Amino acid sequence: MLDSCTQVLAGAECQVKTASNGAQGLKLVEELQPDLVFLDLKMPGLSGFEVLGKIRGQHPLMAVIVITGYATVSSAIEAMKKGAFDFLPKPFTPEELRLITQRGLEHSRLVQQTVALRREKEMLRENFAAIVSHELKAPLGAIQQNLYALTDELAGQLTDDQTQRFARLRVRLDDLLKLIHSWLRIISVDVNKLKETFKPISVADALVKAVETVQTHASRKAIEIVPSVVEPLPRVIGDEGSLTEVLVNLLGNALKYSFPNSKIGVRAEAQGAQVLVSVTDTGVGIAKADLPFLFQDFVRGQAQPEGVTGCGLGLAISRRIIEVHGGTITVESEPGRGSTFTIHLPAVPASPESNPTPERKV
Amino acid sequence: MSEPKRLLMIDDDPDFVAGIKAILVKAKYEVDVAYNSKDGLQALKSKAYDLLLLDVMMGRGAEGIMIARKLGKDPILRNLPVLIITGIREQMAFLFPGQAVHPHFVPVDELVEKPVEPRLLLDKVQALLKTAEARKAESK
């Protein structure tokens, strides 16, 4: 039996090793870590089921095909329930054996690939923060350090304008370092952890802060940001910092894809049990084909105006932050006309308890 | 006036080193530099320093931490104050799961983040030197 099977299978594509009982078989499994195991259920000594259990325990991903001597469906099914990949009832033809071997090996290959890919993905995610923080932050840190040193060394020798420009350089670099830092936080840290510090917050506050953050950028492009808050605006449960980050992302995108001398609208309003915040621009717009992928990692639309840079993470991060808040983020866009991004957040029902500080600056 | 304090900086980024060294030299410190752990350890053995400025991520990984650990085991060098200058505060927790963000490598040490403002750098250096001196006086 073993010999004939070996004859059928052995060749350029596979190497076959045989064992005449369960104990020997398990030893071979440990030594060879085979891609595929054929296991007779009826053997002297250790039973096929025991061997199967041990293999599954040690190597949960190893493909095992049981050979059922009795040709009873029940024992085959029991074996499958215990994790066998497939079964082969005796007697079988060489063709049947080849076919099932092929399938088994294919399965084993796919499982191994999946495991490798999953591990790679996990490693990439875990190490992303480490890699990016060193590779990106190190050169920026070195530049900033020298700006500090130069400012110190040149103190008293610079004109007011030069001193101002040095100060601006330091601020810009500092902003950049902070941005990298906050993105890293989102990528490497579990966004769900934000929930631990959730409290009722005012979306209007986040909106004001976000507009302040991008104001300089907007002025430089001569773009007017027009905020409007429709009162009364219920609070939402969340993290003000990260909601501000989302709005900064959306406003940043709007600025990036807007034409100079245009307007960007930011509107917060209540609608049913939700608070809606929308950012509307009259910029280049987004192609319909790009819309479904917009909130995925590292995706940027086709319509890229000259000089626009970015890694395509902003919207993916924003989506994650909004989802942690139990909300959604949607987009409507028309190429050449502009885009509107809308955040939908569950509102806190208006009651004195959940709205302890009713005064709100807008 | 007393002898200028001698500092050693171990960091593999020459540009960053230049930015730190300029500040320290202007403040009248004597600064030696090593651009890798091997040269750094060599320098520590061959010369007496008052303070070590140490980077964490160098060469093949967290080599700065290996240096700090070696110092901790050395009967003399364990008393050398260390100012860790790192760009990876958040990674410290990653590298040392379960430990505080500022793990104490050696008895006298401090940590600042890259980039570090001149005032903060000089304050930390001065404070560490002062503490180390006080300790020395106490043990005498």
Kindly report the three-state secondary structure assignment for every residue of A154-188: CCCCCCHHHHHHHHHHHHHHHHHHHHHHHHHHHHH
Is B44 a domain residue?
yes
**How far is A161 from chain B, CA to nearest CA, in Å?**
21
Residue of chain A whose Cα is closest to the Cα of B18: A146
Can you tell me the distance from the alpha carbon of B55 to that of B85, in angstroms, rounded to the nearest whole number? 5
| Partner-chain contact B16 A137, CB within 8 Å | no
For the stretch A127-163, pLDDT in tens is: 676 676 667 888 999 999 999 999 989 989 999 999 9
Is B1 a domain residue?
no
Whether ipTM exceeds 0.90? no
The token pair that represents A267 in the structure block = 């509107």
**How far is A135 from chain B, CA to nearest CA, in Å?**
10
Can you tell me the distance from the alpha carbon of B140 to that of B136, in angstroms, rounded to the nearest whole number? 6
Contacts of A151 in chain B (CB under 8 A): 118
Q: What is the pLDDT of residue B98?
A: 39
**Residue A12 clears pLDDT 60, i.e. is over it:** yes
Contacts of B91 in chain A (CB under 8 A): 129-130, 133
> What confidence tier does A362 reach under pLDDT thresholds 50, 70, 90?
very low
**Residue A361 clears pLDDT 60, i.e. is over it:** no
Number of domains in chain B: 1
Is B103 a domain residue?
yes
For the stretch A300-342, pLDDT in tens is: 555 555 545 454 567 887 888 899 999 999 999 999 899 999 9
Domain that holds residue B68: 6-139
**Residue A205 clears pLDDT 80, i.e. is over it:** yes
> Locate tokens 């050693």: which residue?
B8
**Residue B53 clears pLDDT 90, i.e. is over it:** yes
Can you tell me the distance from the alpha carbon of B6 to that of B8, in angstroms, rounded to the nearest whole number? 7
Name the helix (H) or strand (E) containing A331: strand A328-334
Is B24 a domain residue?
yes
For range A165-171, the mean pLDDT: 90
Cut 0.95: pTM above it: no
DSSP string, A261-275: T-EEEEEEEEETTEE
Integer-rounded Cα radius of gyration of chain A: 31
> Locate tokens 């009162």: which residue?
A231
Is B20 a domain residue?
yes
**Residue A265 clears pLDDT 90, i.e. is over it:** yes
- Which residues neighbour A6 within 8 Å (Cβ) at sequence distance 6 or greater? A16, A18
Can you tell me the distance from the alpha carbon of A212 to that of A218, in angstroms, rounded to the nearest whole number? 10
- Which residues neighbour A36 within 8 Å (Cβ) at sequence distance 6 or greater? A14, A63, A64, A65, A101, A104, A105, A108
CATH number of A194-346: 3.30.565.10
Backbone angles phi, psi at A208, to 5 degrees: -60, -45
Of A137, A143, A149, the CB nearest to B22: A149
Contact call for residues A102 and A16 (beta carbons, < 8 A): no
Which superfamily is assigned to A2-92 in CATH? Response regulator (3.40.50.2300)
| Partner-chain contact B91 A153, CB within 8 Å | no
Task: Give the CATH number, domain containing residue B57.
Answer: 3.40.50.2300
For range B78-100, the mean pLDDT: 63
Name the helix (H) or strand (E) containing A6: helix A2-9
Amino acid at B84: I
